Structure 1
Amino acid sequence: MKRYLSGAACLLVLASTAACTAGSPTSEPTVPAGPVPAGLERFYSQRLDWGDCAPYATSETAEFVFAGEGLECARLTVPLDYSEPGSTTITLGVLRHRATETDERIGSLVLNPGGPGASGMTAAGNFSATMPQSPLTERFDLVGFDPRGIGASEPTVECLTAPERDADRADDTEVAGTVAEQEAEESAFADKCADRTEYGERMLANLGTRDVVRDLDVLRSTLGDEKLTYLGYSYGTRIGYTYAERFPGNVRALLLDGALDPEQDLVDSLVAQGEGFATAFDEFARWCAGQQDCALGTDPAAADTAYQDIVRPLIDNPIRSAGGRPLSYEDATTGTIAALYSQQQWPSLNTGLTEVKQGRGTTLLSLADMYNEREANGEYTTTQDAFVAIRCVDDPRVTDKAEILQAQRRYVEVAPFLDPGVPPSPARDACAFWPVPNSSEPHLPDVEGVPPALVISTTNDPATPYQAGVNLAKAMNGRLLTFEGTQHTVFLQGNACVDQAGIDYLVDGTLPREGTRCT
């Protein structure tokens, strides 16, 4: 299976709760806030040395975002291996925008945008710029961190060079190669991750969510917050519910948007994601049919076949785009999936498909570049490498070829537009060859004593299906807020109903009424 498809991609707070997380916005803590696990005192009591964010930028996007007003950055030191806290240490990049209403400051709001592999620093910087007068930026220090192995954190996961990733994207071996060819490619990828990442297998073994939540608790304490206020999107919801299970007494509020189902195994998660993409594609097809120039024609019922007719020929005959780079079948489907994340990208998807019919691949290649975080200079962020590395230790590997074959068949049954028209393959993916074992596995979190979370789920979310949010809200003893739409995540993206409910919860602890739906 394609690597990008291998995964994808709180409480009723009393008024007095704010006092539990309040701290001086003008001084840094020198003593830990809240409980400190034995043996970790020096990490919890460290002082963050805040300064200019420019040196932390590791991408063109980060350079732009980190130049924003009111941003400051620091490095947080944590153990590489929490079972050996006196041994090797690593650092995490942290970005902060201070609360603007210091007299009414509640504490820190820590966020993670998902992935796994996405930069929390960049996300926090973006949010601070787009909502300067929000109650969130007025009353919270808005904080984003790059989880271990990601972005500005050191070291980062390193697997493929930029030329190697370009070549990997252009090669449709994962779709049409023999089982031996596919597995050789996946095995080589795993070897490169271990060889090129600093500390090698030690780093890969301690990269997963199990360790990220321990880092998050160190961050909570060094920020001066006795309890954590957290906003997690997509994979970030996994960080949130895992943190709640590990540190149930340290939670103030958890807002989780675009949930992963905590009990779902990797195969079922993949199939559910396929259903989500198919639903979004069907919505796109209906919209497209109403346009004068729909690449898929005027009959939404025939859209799957029309799409296959456009992209399947790319397996044997990729289209050369501007600059000589080819549009492969893999990039065409990646670009399609990227556009299905948001209705705002639907016109671009229609343009891209129309271009392919005309023998051009510029727009779909651009969408695939956006998804893969390929920059104008040809370099890539580490997101895709980190995505695979984290998923490979977060979930048990799937090695049974009969199970893999059945999963492939189920996937194209629920998402027929993504059927490449070649026989399904039982080839194992990179995780089957991963050099270290998984450090966690799917299960219902034990969150006894944790205040109820607010879980937001979108009815036609293409990447994290609606039912996953229903299941997580129940597992967290929380409240479900339903958004009726077709996009991946929604909070702080312009829907007044959703935004107000989320802000009320994070600021005051007020949960929306049971059964609340926003449109």
Structure 2
Amino acid sequence: MKRVHRSRSALALSLAVLAATALSGCTATAPGDRGRPVAGAVDPATRPELRAFYTQKLTWTDCGELRCARLTVPMDYADPADGRTFVLPVAKAVTADPARRIGSLVYNPGGPGGSGVDSLTDGGADSFGAEVRARFDIVSFDPRGVGASAPALTCDDGKGEGEAAAEAADENPLSPRTEADRKGVLAMVEAEAGACVAGSGDILRHVGTRDAARDVDVLRAALGETRLTYVGWSYGTSLGTEYAEQFPRRVRALVLDGAIDPSLDWRARAQSQAAGFRRAVDDYATHCADIAGAGVCPGATPEEIRQVIHGLFARTARAPLPVDGSASGVDERMLLDALSMAMYTPEDQWKGLSEALTAADSGDGTKLAALAHDEETGEDEDGGSGSGGAGTAPADEPNPTPAHNEGAALLAVNCADTPHPRGAEPYWDALAPAQHAAGPYGTAAVLDAMVCKGLPAGPGQPHLVRAEGVPPVLVVGTTGDPATPYEEAESLAAQFPGGMLLTYEGVGHTAYGRGGSCVGDAVDAYLVGLKPVRAGARCQ
């Protein structure tokens, strides 16, 4: 039976979405420095070769209910005079109360690979409280290589290698045990990495979060702000952390929700997130049995529900589940995708997941396929999720609809930010512990990371945050967060001088905008009036 097509990027998005690791930083950036910024270094805004970027004026035009512009930044901050640039789409929702305006608030919705312009167009400003919307212009942008930036990342080499890699992923088991299994995995990751190198070329070396944070500082200057007010969700916490390390004295307020700990290496990060998803599925089983009850859940007790899920993994590993009206079926990877994506917004997806699991336990994969398909819309089958030409729209289109290249950007940015082994053995060595700790979530996370062995990496290393001089930073952590486990929020808050931790006792990914008035009121008061959050603050 042919499987339902699920690009390898969809698996990466379900297990590594909004994940980034091992960034680096300190205070200011030295001219031509390709390593860590150094304390006391020359302010980059005063470098003659960067002055034109820092003094550019944004030309705003109407784009629906928003205002849109384009920001030009150097492709290589070590050699900005070489003429190569990224052009980044920018959008803003203008303050509802200009007379009380504080300034601009910049946000990143997550990823890496999330389009800020897309987010804002789709109502992203509604995630902020009414007082924040009244006091700030809400601004977001497409980071370098992402969405409608020019140039944009793609893992389409024009020869079908990206599509072949995605198909190969469907044929490879989540837990490769034989030599043939491992050869299949190696062939797949090498094909996918090769397609990304062929499709994106040299820009792969220039899409890391360190350079994206420098872009944020150029944006800050272009917006006319002396200090940055910023909110980052998930991967956006990595971008915000990097900005704080490079430009600590240019921060006004920084909210990091769904935190990523920069001290974790590739293996620890994969294990952390995989364990988060495993715990989230356990939380689902407990919640379903305790709250929803019999007749809705795929089992009467949490243990019965977990056994159903475990049995489905074993069953789909042997043969795909049939799907009504289709010659395709649902394999173990599609099952993993459906489960993982349902963990992000339980209030929206757990009921549908229960129905899909109940049907699947009876032998029908139709609803599981629908769940997974809904989360994959907008992606190409090549894993690159777009042609790569998103930034080449006619000049009279201030912000064309961005190509959905989340898969390519997720892969390229994570690999650029984090040192990964170049040989295969460290990944094989990590598989058994990952499986023991988190089952298929663990092995999938390790196999996803393996593609990075064939892609460029930046100079960053795992490290504790160094941001001397930064004002108090607010970190928000959700105790049941699947993608960015709560322990990472605790760690990141402790690494910032004067760091504050706001705990949301709940499930799902991130809290601000979905965690109720307790979280919203605390974050809004900090953003508007810089009101600190007391130590040990918790919301339910």
TM-score (normalised: structure 1)? 0.84
For 2:147, the equivalent position in structure 1 comes to 151
The alpha carbon displacement at 1:296 in A equals: 3.9
The alpha carbon displacement at 1:302 in A equals: 4.3
Provide closer, same or farther for how the CA distance between residues 265 and 353 of structure 1 changes in structure 2, counting only shifts above 3 A.
Answer: same
The alpha carbon displacement at 1:510 in A equals: 0.4
Residue 108 (str. 1) matches residue 104 (str. 2): yes
Residue 364 (str. 1) matches residue 368 (str. 2): yes
Bigger shift: residues 289-298 or 441-450 = 289-298
Work out the CA distance in 2 between the residues paired with 1:427 and 1:137: 38
Q: Of 175, 181, 186, which aligns to 1:178?
A: 181
For 2:345, the equivalent position in structure 1 comes to 342
Residue 167 (str. 1) matches residue 167 (str. 2): yes
Residue 208 (str. 1) matches residue 211 (str. 2): no
Secondary structure of 1:86's aligned partner: helix
Secondary structure of 2:139's aligned partner: strand
Work out the CA distance in 1 between the residues paired with 2:210 and 2:89: 18
- The 8 Å contact of residues 233 and 258 in structure 1, kept in 2 or not, is answered as yes
Q: Of 292, 295, 304, which aligns to 1:293?
A: 295
Provide closer, same or farther for how the CA distance between residues 86 and 326 of structure 1 changes in structure 2, counting only shifts above 3 A.
Answer: farther
Work out the CA distance in 2 between the residues paired with 1:452 and 1:408: 39
The superposition leaves residues 352-378 of structure 1 with CA deviations (integer Å, 9 ceiling, x where unpaired) of 212322333333233323444436999
Of the two structures, which has the highest relative contact order with CA contacts closer than 8 Å and spacing of 6 or more? 2
The superposition leaves residues 45-83 of structure 1 with CA deviations (integer Å, 9 ceiling, x where unpaired) of 112122243xxxxxxxxxxxxx4x2x0211111111111
Work out the CA distance in 1 between the residues paired with 2:296 and 2:12: 30
For 1:470, the equivalent position in structure 2 comes to 490
For 1:41, the equivalent position in structure 2 comes to 51
The answer for unaligned runs of 5 or more in structure 2 is 1-7, 20-42, 387-403
Secondary structure of 1:41's aligned partner: helix
The superposition leaves residues 370-396 of structure 1 with CA deviations (integer Å, 9 ceiling, x where unpaired) of 444436999762101110111111101
Work out the CA distance in 2 between the residues paired with 1:37 and 1:516: 42
The superposition leaves residues 277-325 of structure 1 with CA deviations (integer Å, 9 ceiling, x where unpaired) of 1221111111222422355422323443321211332234223435544
Bigger shift: residues 373-382 or 410-419 = 373-382
Q: Of 504, 516, 524, which aligns to 1:503?
A: 524
- The 8 Å contact of residues 34 and 225 in structure 1, kept in 2 or not, is answered as no
For 2:40, the equivalent position in structure 1 comes to none
The alpha carbon displacement at 1:3 in A equals: 4.0
Work out the CA distance in 2 between the residues paired with 1:425 and 1:99: 44
Work out the CA distance in 2 between the residues paired with 1:169 and 1:406: 20
Secondary structure of 2:118's aligned partner: helix
Secondary structure of 1:39's aligned partner: helix
For 2:406, the equivalent position in structure 1 comes to 383
Matched residue type, 1:342 = T
Matched residue type, 1:492 = G
Matched residue type, 2:225 = D
Provide closer, same or farther for how the CA distance between residues 447 and 431 of structure 1 changes in structure 2, counting only shifts above 3 A.
Answer: same
The answer for unaligned runs of 5 or more in structure 1 is 10-32, 54-66
The alpha carbon displacement at 1:410 in A equals: 2.4
The alpha carbon displacement at 1:343 in A equals: 1.6
Provide closer, same or farther for how the CA distance between residues 384 and 85 of structure 1 changes in structure 2, counting only shifts above 3 A.
Answer: same
For 2:81, the equivalent position in structure 1 comes to 86
Matched residue type, 1:513 = R
In the comparison of the two structures, how many residue pairs are matched?
475
Matched residue type, 1:83 = A
- The 8 Å contact of residues 34 and 226 in structure 1, kept in 2 or not, is answered as no
Matched residue type, 1:468 = E
Matched residue type, 2:203 = M
Work out the CA distance in 2 between the residues paired with 1:206 and 1:269: 22
Residue 280 (str. 1) matches residue 267 (str. 2): no
